[in-house]
Structure 1
Amino acid sequence: MFPKVVQVIPMQDYSVYVYFEDGKIVNYDMSQMIEKGAFCCLKEIEIFLDRCTVMNDTLAWDISGNWDDTTCLDIDPDTLYALPHVQEAIA
């Protein structure tokens, strides 16, 4: 099975709620990743929040703003799916 992300909701604390096609929900903490390499541009909270999206069936950031899935920053969906299931905490 290939896990397919269908929705993402970024939060102010640099975490993202990730919703999978099968109903699983995980919370991915990006606070450590934004200190590394290409992900440093996500330190700017406006970019982190505004460019967070689903591309290539996974969590991604459309850095260019052109919806070019070849230039986005993304997280392997298998890595995300391996996280523990969480309850939706969005109010």
Structure 2
Amino acid sequence: MQEDMFPSVVQAVAGENFTVYAYMLDGTVRKVPVKPLIEQGGVWERLKDPDFFHNALTVLNDTVAWDLSGHLDPSDCIDIDPFTIAECESVADPIKVA
């Protein structure tokens, strides 16, 4: 990622074992392990439900998010700081690899 570029997620795809693949504006794909966050509890506990984890996953606020209201309201979601995502492992596109 370029130093002067704010990290921005353009697509999020759920993977196995509570992983998210974040497709970044800079063209990279980041593998985001969400399980450690879920294990922290609190707001993250809601993501324990596999159906919610997969079905509510979206992009809001230019980052990986889970839509709580079902209305794509950027103020009513659980999201991960895009700088945290930018620090995650860069991987090959899992859709192209599959």
Q: TM-score range by the shorter chain?
A: over 0.9
Q: Secondary structure at the match of 1:64?
A: coil
Match runs of 1:70-81 below 5 Å: 70-81=75-86
Structure 2 segments unaligned to the other structure (5+ residues): none
Aligned pair partner of 2:11 in 4, 7, 14: 7
Maintained 8 Å contact 1:12/1:49: no
2:57 alignment partner in structure 1? 52
RMSD value over aligned CA atoms?
Answer: 1.0
TM-score, L = length of structure 1: 0.93
Aligned residues with identical type, % of pairs: 41
Q: Confirm whether residue 31 of structure 1 aligns to residue 35 of structure 2.
A: yes
How many residues get paired?
Answer: 91
Q: Which has the larger radius of gyration?
A: 2
Runs of 4+ in 1 over 2 A off after TM superposition: none
Structure 1 segments unaligned to the other structure (5+ residues): none
